[in-house]
Amino acid sequence: MSSTSKKNELPRVVSVLGQPFRVHMVPPKEDCVGETHGDTHLIEIDNSLNSARQWRILLHEYVHATLYINGLGNVLDGDVEEVIAQSLEYSITQFIHKYGIQFKEAVEGDRHE
């Protein structure tokens, strides 16, 4: 496997508000490219998608996991939760695209002060 593909490979575990969520790549499902199972701390992502799409789906599912951990996933209507996840996925992706390097450098520098 080339270093480029490893660089773009999704993590096997992500920390969501301090809680580990396993990330599993799964075969395509009808009408579903990603799914979060809050009760088992599992995120599933369609393994047939290209790397860029998988990362965006991971971010989307990360939002769902965050809503689950902070208790909002239990009180929000499913459609409302989905709109929130889509909106945050899009806006955070735009932020990362434009300011990701500066943000990372600033945050990493701040940890040592």
Structure confidence by residue, pLDDT tens digits, 48-104: 999 999 999 999 999 999 999 999 988 999 999 999 999 999 999 999 999 999 998
Residue 3 confidence (pLDDT) above 50: no
The domain spans of the chain are 10-110
CA pair distance 66, 72, nearest whole angstrom: 8
Q: Into which CATH architecture does domain 10-110 fall?
A: Orthogonal Bundle (1.10)
Residue 10 backbone dihedrals phi, psi, to 5 degrees: -70, 150
Burial 63-94 (b: 16+ CB within 10 A, else e): bbbbbbbeeebeeeeeeebeebbeebbeebbe
30-46 pLDDT per residue, tens: 999 999 999 999 999 99
pTM: 0.87
Q: What is the per-residue pLDDT for 109?
A: 73
